[in-house]
Structure formats: C-alpha cells, structure tokens
Amino acid sequence: MAAHASLPPMYTPSSDSEKAVMLHRYVLLHAQQASVHRRLSIASSPPTLPHSALTTAPDMSTSESSSTASSPTFGGKNCSQVSPPTLALPKPATKSSNSRVPSMSPIPEHAPIHDASSSYFAMSPDESKLYDVNHNIKSTLTELLNCEAVRHDYTMRLWVQTRLLDAEQELKRQRRRRVSMPTITLSPAGEEEGYRRSSG
C-alpha cells in the first residue's frame, strides 16, 4: 500500500490499466483499418493480363493471308476479290409541303435525386466497413485522450491528438465521397405530364 502512495496520481494502477485497454483497442482497430485499405486498393487496381496470354496471341497477318489463299476461285478470280453486285435503291418519297413535323415534349432540366444520406447504401461493403472502423477509432482515441494517464503525459497526449486528427480527416474524406455519389431517378409519368401541361 505504501508503494502505491509514493506513485504520482497520473500513474495509478487504475488509470494505467484504462490506458492499456484503450491502446489495445486502438491497435486492433488500426489493424482492421489497414486490412480494409488493402482490400480496397486491390479492388480498385485494374486487372493485368498474364504474360503467357500476351505471348500466345495469334498473328492476325498470317491468319488473314492463309484465309485468302484458301478461298475458292471461280473463273480464275478469287472470291475475296469479287465485288458484290450493285443494287439500285428506291428513292425516298418526298414529303408534302403541308405535312407537319411532330413536336417533342420538353425534357425537365432538373431531375429529382436521392438525399445524400441515401448514397450510403451505394457504397461497397468494404467502404462501409472502413467508415465504421474509422468512426470507432475516433471514439477510442477520444476516450484515450480523456484518460487520466494521458492527460498528464505531454508526449502521449500529443501522439493521441495527432492520431485523432488523422481519424477525423479520414472521416471527412469518406463523407465527401458519399455526398459526391449522386443517384438519379426518373420522375414518374404523372410528373412529366404535369410539367408538359404547365409549360404548354
């Protein structure tokens, strides 16, 4: 008991254990974040053709010359050199002067779009997982910053604040990507009919 009393308040066993729990949770979340980042980078990278597929591609010039050489001949002329007969196409009928061109209804300039929050469902599962992981990282770092052991440790507090700023920036970037994914829907026929009547 005397040994505990000699320790500074910021290094009490309770605050130190709370700090260790928060750090362990952050390490696990950071590992999940790195794993999801790797999956997203692999999914976004363009597929590459294997080297064997490029080396075994057929030579188009040799295949074309062989097909020309094997074409049957009629009367000393090759089939590929015989021009097809020309057919006289009928002339299109002239339109009468009193014929009217059918008018087209105007298209509305502004089509209704979904709310920005509905774009969340257009995200891939890995993007949704990354958003949840980043949100949990922010919550964990906030709790760690309020920990007694971290508040009295300048170096540790500065490290946590830097990681917390990175997590907030990552969440802002994801929110901007969610808002920048518009989902346009066609307006019902009734709304288009009402628009035509009002504009007519």
* 135 has a pLDDT exceeding 90: yes
Instruction: Determine, yes or no, domain membership for 58.
Output: no
Instruction: Determine, yes or no, domain membership for 132.
Output: yes
Mean pLDDT for the chain overall: 68
Question: Which DSSP category does 73 fall into?
Answer: E
Read off the pLDDT band of 124 (50, 70, 90): confident
Count of domains observed in the chain: 1
Strands (E), the chain: 73-74, 77-78
- Distance CA(195)–CA(107), nearest Å, equals 9
Instruction: Determine, yes or no, domain membership for 68.
Output: no
Q: Which residues pair with 74 in a beta bridge?
A: 77
More confident residue, 1 or 86: 86
In this prediction, residue 145 carries a pLDDT of 92
In this prediction, residue 88 carries a pLDDT of 58
Q: Which domain holds residue 131?
A: 11-39+111-187
pLDDT digits (tens, 9 = 90+) for 155-185: 999 999 999 999 999 999 888 877 766 554 4
Instruction: Determine, yes or no, domain membership for 151.
Output: yes
Read off the pLDDT band of 1 (50, 70, 90): very low
In this prediction, residue 106 carries a pLDDT of 55
* 111 has a pLDDT exceeding 50: no
Instruction: Determine, yes or no, domain membership for 92.
Output: no
Percent of the chain with pLDDT over 70: 43
- Of the candidates 151, 140, 141, the residue with the CA atom closest to the CA atom of residue 15: 151
Biggest CA-to-CA distance, the chain: 117
Three-point CA angle 12, 162, 37, nearest 5°: 110
In this prediction, residue 160 carries a pLDDT of 94
* 75 has a pLDDT exceeding 70: no
More confident residue, 131 or 13: 131
pLDDT digits (tens, 9 = 90+) for 5-63: 433 444 444 567 888 999 999 999 999 999 998 998 888 776 555 555 555 555 555 55
- Distance CA(80)–CA(51), nearest Å, equals 35
